[in-house]
Amino acid sequence: MQMSRMGSPSVGMEDDIGSGHALSDFLLQLENYNPSIPDSVVAYYLNMAGFESQDPRLVRLIALASQKLLSDIANDALQHCKMRTSSQVTQTSKNQKGPKEKKYVMTMDDLVPALQEYGITAKKPHYFV
């Protein structure tokens, strides 16, 4: 916790310390919670990076963080998708189903702007070597 104090000497420091404490409590709750990504897979990728932990809760925390990131990006992509389909719905009047029951297909057109907001640029190469 001293590191966080040194690293961010801003006003939001207390929030970080507070969240750090909360996280340690949260870690205890994590024992019962299983994220969607299995522990072994996450542990494998962490081991590839050199991160070896005997505590499975840390692994689950990282899995949860990645899952949350994924769901955030997916939500943003869904927003993009809805924006696109709602503009199409208003144009076509043949639509009998409500917009809620419309099927949403995620394509690269939705994903790329969602990733852009997170700083990830995903570009398809123009040619394949």
Partner 1 sequence: MTESTEKVENICDARRRILNIAVSTVLLETGFDAADKVSLETLTEMIQCFITEVGNSARGYCELAGRVEPVLGDVSMALINMGISLQGIEQYAARPSRHIIQPPQQASVPRTPSMLSAGSKAKPAPHIPFHLPPLPDPHAYIRTPTHKQPVTEYEAIREKAATQKRDIERALTKFLSKTSETHNLFNTEDNQVYPLIACKPTFPSYLPALLPTDQVFDFDELEYHFQVANRTEDMPADKKENSDNEGDNGGDNENANNSQSETQDAPLGSSPDRNKSGG
Applying CB under 8 A, the residues found at the interface with partner 1 are: 1, 3-4, 7-8, 15-16, 19-20, 22-24, 26-27, 29-30, 33-34, 36-38, 40-42, 44-54, 58, 61-71, 73-75, 77-78, 81, 103-108, 110-111, 115, 119-120, 122, 124
Residue 73: helix, strand or coil by DSSP? helix
Shortest distance (Å) from residue 86 CB to partner 1: 14
> What's the chain's Rg over C-alpha atoms?
21
Considering the complex, state which of residue 90 and residue 109 has its C-beta at the smaller distance from partner 1: 109
Contacts of 111-116 spanning 24+ positions with Cβ under 8 A: 111/73, 111/77, 113/76, 113/80, 114/73, 114/74, 114/76, 114/77, 114/79, 114/80, 115/73
Shortest distance (Å) from residue 31 CB to partner 1: 12
Shortest distance (Å) from residue 18 CB to partner 1: 9
Cβ pair 99, 69 in contact under 8 A: no
Considering the complex, state which of residue 40 and residue 96 has its C-beta at the smaller distance from partner 1: 40
Shortest distance (Å) from residue 91 CB to partner 1: 21
Considering the complex, state which of residue 47 and residue 88 has its C-beta at the smaller distance from partner 1: 47
* Residue 77 exposed, middle or buried by CB count within 10 Å (0-12, 13-18, 19+): buried
